[in-house]
Amino acid sequence: QKEVEQDPGPLSVPEGAIVSLNCTYSNSAFQYFMWYRQYSRKGPELLMYTYSSGNKEDGRFTAQVDKSSKYISLFIRDSQPSDSATYLCGVRGSQGNLIFGKGTKLSVKP
Amino acid sequence: GAVVSQHPSWVICKSGTSVKIECRSLDFQATTMFWYRQFPKQSLMLMATSNEGSKATYEQGVEKDKFLINHASLTLSTLTVTSAHPEDSSFYICSAGTVGFNEKLFFGSGTQLSVL
């Protein structure tokens, strides 16, 4: 089993829709969880950062972590065409490195 | 957020030559830097972890003699791809953070390497 599993999509939604992106992870020791957005041929950009379980909201973005089920989610409200990108979930490994999911490619149609 | 500068953003080289990629943390001191490689439509794969002033730790399957990493200061790490071959063509990305104090990692803009 991979340490972080993420459905690669692609996911296509109409503008204004609520988007739900999800990942599961295998190691219950992970404590730090991140969501990155990556545009084509660019470095990932940190979107959301969560420590342990709970919710975190930032504008149209909400990150959720459920450590009991090892499940992390990112919700995007009122999605915009500019949100079209690949979204990577990541967990912080014991060595400090980031372990990424495969990334979900999102397309928001006008 | 913190700024990590990566240079160059694009490099084309001939097979057999060496290429150096620089990663700088501009507004913080990075005790740890990570180098990733990303093939088209794939996720980022960790190549190595470098700590300032010590030898890099390479992931399984990554040749340390081919991918030379130097982290001589708290703001600069370099990755040198030695004797590059076409199969080394990929998108290389660095990330930096201050482990323990700030658990966030920030990424450079990436370097697209094309080996002819």
Check CB contact under 8 Å for A98 and B42.
Answer: no
* Distance in Å, alpha carbon of A97 to nearest chain B alpha carbon: 7
Percentages (nearest 5) of helix, strand, coil residues in chain B = 5, 55, 40
Check CB contact under 8 Å for A95 and B105.
Answer: no
- Can you give the three-state secondary structure of B55-104, one letter per residue? CCEECCCCCCCCEEEEEEECCEEEEEECCCCHHHCEEEEEEEEECCCEEE
Written as six digits, the tokens of B13 are 């080289």
Check CB contact under 8 Å for A98 and B43.
Answer: no
- Classify A81 as helix, strand or coil: helix
Does residue A82 surpass a pLDDT of 50? yes
Per-residue pLDDT of A30-60, as tens digits, reads 888 999 999 988 888 889 888 888 899 999 9
From chain B, the residues in CB contact with A41 under 8 A are 91, 110, 112
Does residue B100 surpass a pLDDT of 80? no
